Amino acid sequence: MFRTTWAIAKKEFRHLYRDKRFLAILIFFPVFLLAFFGYAVDFDVKNVKIAVLDLDKTASSRKLINELTATEYFADPIYINNASEIRKLLDMKTVNAVVTIPEDLDEMITRGEKVTIQYLVDGVDANTAIIVANYIEAGVAAFNGKFRNEVLSRNGLKIQPPIAISPKIMYNPELKSSLFFIPGLISMILIITSVISVSLSIVRENERNTIEQIRVSPVSFISLLLGKIFPYLVIAYLNAAMILVVGYFLFGVQVHGSYFDLFYSIFVFLLASTSLGYFVSVISPNTQVAFTLGAFVSLLPSLILSGFVFQIESMPWIIQIFTNITPTKFFNTIMRAIILRGTGIETFWTQIINLLIFTGVLVFLSILVSKIKERKA
């Protein structure tokens, strides 16, 4: 079995070596995808464009504006003179938000009265709108705190809050969205390259009628399967190593856990991915169908149903069950546990079992479909 498996693997290595363009795509395209998606998929909202209608034009209003825009999250504010400009700025997407400061702000603050400040936010992009609103409210809260301390110090008073908060963000202290997305990008890139490459490799054998020669030779199904996927496992490991190196230098993503855990976890995931690719090849009549179906079953589920972008717990329960059709759901949990949290197998052993079950089910279905096709032939 080992000799026949190695013979199939050598044959596949030679095919890859001869098709240098396809080999170059397999090796370098994943790194390009990582760099592209790593910079493009970023939920950190910075340089928010904001307009200010300052009807008060006093020292208090200027302090409030400084508190709102003194961070990296806001670009330099655009000052407008009347309310008729607000709708036009929002309609043209010139700004993301408009803050209106009432003309009696300073007098009301001096009298100790409560002042209401209106801000309008472009809500077309709901996620950005929520973040911008939080930025504005945080700036107002900072202004309130400084003003209260100034008033108390002028009166010779000092009030200590009964409870002090000492927050500490674990695993991602700077709250960089790239650190959350990079592990998911790794799994998405690996499954796309594994599924498509394995499915195309086996379908080509059918199109060239060489699969019949393999079937009549003393090669078992397991030897054929292992021999076919072995070269792509090697390339996928090379891709994983390159992606981790590029992720470290471009985005500062470090592996906080065990590299041994990372090694065997990637191996189990690649088994699941290549088994999915083999199943696609079994049900595909030609390379065009194999490529389209392979891209469909690998890209869309790993992007939408794996927790890469959208939180699975927030989905309806029927969709949560449906998310089990992609192995990236389980692998994303493993990668974030190893890379970001630095935990061991005690936190993700159930995901390893799920990947093994997924692999077993796909291999069983592949054998079943292959047997049915042979009988019909």
The pLDDT score that the predictor gives to residue 136 is: 86
Q: Tell whether the model's pLDDT for residue 72 goes beyond 90.
A: no
The pLDDT score that the predictor gives to residue 1 is: 63
The pLDDT score that the predictor gives to residue 253 is: 81
Strand order in the sheet with 118-121: 78-80, 50-54, 97-101, 118-121
Confidence class for position 40, pLDDT limits 50, 70, 90: low
339 against 15, higher pLDDT = 339
The pLDDT score that the predictor gives to residue 373 is: 75
Q: Are 286 and 208 in contact (CB under 8 A)?
A: no
Structure-token match 């329960």, residue found:
317
Q: What is the pLDDT of residues 219-249, one digit of tens each?
A: 666 776 777 778 878 888 888 888 888 888 8
Confidence class for position 24, pLDDT limits 50, 70, 90: confident
CA 119/CA 74 separation, integer angstroms? 15
36 against 90, higher pLDDT = 90
Could you tell me the sign of the dihedral formed by the alpha carbons of 26, 194, 189, 253, in that order? negative
Confidence class for position 6, pLDDT limits 50, 70, 90: confident
Backbone angles phi, psi at 53, to 5 degrees: -105, 95
Q: Tell whether the model's pLDDT for residue 164 goes beyond 70.
A: no
Tokens of 190: 């690996």
The pLDDT score that the predictor gives to residue 220 is: 66
Q: Tell whether the model's pLDDT for residue 308 goes beyond 70.
A: yes
% the chain with pLDDT above 70: 88
The pLDDT score that the predictor gives to residue 150 is: 74
Q: Tell whether the model's pLDDT for residue 103 goes beyond 90.
A: no
CA 76/CA 61 separation, integer angstroms? 16
CA 180/CA 336 separation, integer angstroms? 8
Mean pLDDT score of the chain, rounded to an integer? 82
Q: Tell whether the model's pLDDT for residue 43 goes beyond 70.
A: no
CA 184/CA 171 separation, integer angstroms? 16
CA 186/CA 165 separation, integer angstroms? 36
CA 34/CA 128 separation, integer angstroms? 24
The pLDDT score that the predictor gives to residue 156 is: 66
The pLDDT score that the predictor gives to residue 238 is: 84
* DSSP structural state of residue 76: P
Range in 134-138, 145-149, 160-164, 341-345 with the lowest mean pLDDT: 160-164
CATH classification for the domain delimited by 50-154, as one of 3.40.50.1970, 3.40.50.10860, 3.40.1710.10, 1.10.150.20: 3.40.1710.10
Query: What pTM does this model have?
Result: 0.76
H helices within 217-323, ranges in order?
221-251, 259-283, 287-304, 317-322
% the chain with pLDDT above 90: 11
Mean pLDDT value across residues 127-145: 84
Mean pLDDT value across residues 43-69: 85
Q: What is the pLDDT of residues 315-331, one digit of tens each?
A: 888 888 988 888 999 99
Identity at 355, one-letter amino acid code: L
The domain locations on the chain are: 2-42+176-376, 50-154
Q: Tell whether the model's pLDDT for residue 356 goes beyond 70.
A: yes
Nearest to 117 by CA among 133, 95, 93, 131: 133
Q: What is the pLDDT of residues 167-188, one digit of tens each?
A: 777 777 776 777 777 788 888 8
CA 147/CA 152 separation, integer angstroms? 9
Relative to beta strand 78-80, strand 50-54 is parallel
The pLDDT score that the predictor gives to residue 250 is: 80
Instruction: Give per-residue burial for 106-123: e unless 16+ CB within 10 Å, then b.
Output: beebeeeeeeeeebbbbe
Q: What is the pLDDT of residues 248-304, one digit of tens each?
A: 888 778 888 899 999 999 999 988 998 898 889 888 888 888 888 888 888 888 888
